[in-house]
Amino acid sequence: MDSLGWVAVASIISSGLCIGIGAIGPALGEGRALAQALSAMAQQPDETNTITRTLFVGLAMVESTAIYAFVVSMILLFANPFWNYFLSQTAGG
């Protein structure tokens, strides 16, 4: 396999690891936040509106981490900055 093929393999593996690991953390965080919010609502039903509002803002912040991981993995697959370098190396050499 030539160097361009290895770059492709490395990009695909890196992209898979990025989205895989990048989705585990936010998923665990969102599950824990939801469990704690439900527990707080059960203990203080009068504060449900405040807890729900805070929960949604927190979930949006946590979900942005997964979105960043998704964007990085898409860049590695479709807009890889190393492709042009290796294409110029293989064409010139």
DSSP class of residue 45 equals: G
This prediction's pTM: 0.76
Q: Where are the domains of the chain?
A: 3-88
- Give the CATH superfamily of 3-88: F1F0 ATP synthase subunit C (1.20.20.10)
pLDDT in tens, 36-85: 999 999 999 999 999 999 999 999 999 999 999 999 999 988 888 777 77
pLDDT above 60: residue 25:
yes
Please compute the mean of the pLDDT values over residues 11-40 and round it to a whole number.
93
Which of 17, 20, 8 lies closest to 66 in space, CA to CA? 20
Distance CA 10, CA 87 (A): 15
